[in-house]
Amino acid sequence: MTFIRVPKSWEIPEREVTSEATYFNRRRFLKTLAGASILPILGCQASEDADNELEATLNVPKLESIKTNPAFAEVDRPITNELLAGRYNNYYEFGTGKSIWQAAQSLPTDSWKVEVTGLVKNPRTYDLDDLQKKFPLEERIYRFRCVEAWSMVLPWIGFPMKRLMAEVEPTSKAQFVRFISYDNPKIRIGPSWSLGGKLPWPYTEGLSVEEMANELAFFAVGIYGHLLPKQHGAPIREVIPWKYGFKGAKSIVKIEFVESQPATFWNTIDSHEYDFEANVNPKKPHPRWSQATEKFIGKGEDFSWEKRETLLYNGYEEYVASLYV
């Protein structure tokens, strides 16, 4: 007997990775044909226009004289090409596909403020200038592993979360922290699927305060030597390299210290598929696929991937294993 499994309406579709691979391979194919003057000019023009438009979204102000932290200057694989990372994103406010880079340009980032509140001695509201003045920026090359079993290597610019904690001073009651993304129902496209007609917007994520204080936990304001493009979560996002990518809320407007484990976007949708801790672990399969290997995107200029063994804690065991004994 053949069973046809009907996916639940809210599931992250496995097909995304494959469909994007097909898309990029098709582009490479089209370019080759264009070079051989086989394609009609019109098709080539559309592809060139899309390339130019993508590059324009990545043409954001540069961050000058930022030093790379020597402890995080390289990993065991090359940095993913910027033009690939900038058009292969997850940002559900702007759609469920990977090609949200155009839609994400409607995110309004002027006069951005981040409120730090809750169980802290010194609540603060920062604008981006304050953040950059108070917390010296550095570059870190981190592995990036999505729960969907693809991975990249990305050069983030930002500052360790523990610096911000030292300034706001969480009280002894604060056990967890909650990160809240910008949300505006007027510009949100959002998924067509829904949870009983409603998704738990805004996008939120959370950590324990011990996790937040870990050396690796990072706020990124830039990537590839410049400010964050909108598709990567401008103007400030979390980067937690030992956890699956969904833990890294984009476009943060509020950081709240709380007493108990907060509800988060994916965990509310399905706690079985997206557990709160979400540490990268090759031995713990996702209910719908194995996590033993991953598709590493980043070998070349095209969207060709390489199969890699998944590393426990994404290769950051020495920094974080002690958090989970």
Q: Which residues bind ligand MTE (CB under 6 A)?
A: 89-93, 146, 181, 203, 232-233, 245-246, 248-251
Residue 36 C-beta: closest distance to ligand MTE, Å: 34
Q: Based on CB atoms, which residue is closest to ligand MTE, 90 or 279?
A: 90
Tokens of 179: 């990160």
Of the pair 249, 311, the CB lying nearest ligand MTE is at: 249
| Least Cβ distance, residue 237 to ligand MTE (angstroms) | 7
Residue with tokens 């969207």: 303
Find the residue with minimal CB distance to ligand MTE: 245
Q: Three-state secondary structure along the chain? A: CCCCCCCCCCCCCCHHHHHHHHHHHHHHHHHHHHHCCCCCHHHHHHHHHHHHHHHHHHCCCECCCCCECHHHCCCCCCCCCHHHHCCCCCCHHHCCCCCCCCHHHHCCCCCCEEEEEECECCCEEEEHHHHHHHCCCEEEEEEEECCCCEEEEEEEEEEEHHHHHHHHCECCCCCEEEEEECCCCCCCCCCCCCCCCCCCCCCEEEEEHHHHCCCCCEEEEEECCEECCHHHCCCCEEECCCECHHHCCCCEEEEEEECCCCCCHHHHHCCCCCCCCCECCCCCCECCECCCEEEEECCCCCCCEEEEECCHHHHCHHHHHHHHC
Q: Is the Cβ of residue 119 or residue 212 nearer to ligand MTE in the bound state? A: 212
Place of tokens 């998704």: 199
CB 76 to ligand MTE: min, Å: 19
In the complex, the smallest distance separating the C-beta of residue 104 from ligand MTE, rounded to whole angstroms, is: 9
Closer residue to ligand MTE (CB): 119 or 179 = 179
Q: With respect to ligand MTE, which residue has the nearer C-beta, 131 or 220?
A: 220
User: Least distance in Å: CB of 10 to ligand MTE?
Assistant: 13
Whose Cβ is closer to ligand MTE: residue 119's or residue 178's?
A: 178
Nearer to ligand MTE, 203 or 242 (CB): 203
Tell the smallest beta-carbon distance from residue 325 to ligand MTE (Å). Answer: 27
Residue 123 beta carbon to ligand MTE: minimum distance, rounded to whole angstroms: 23
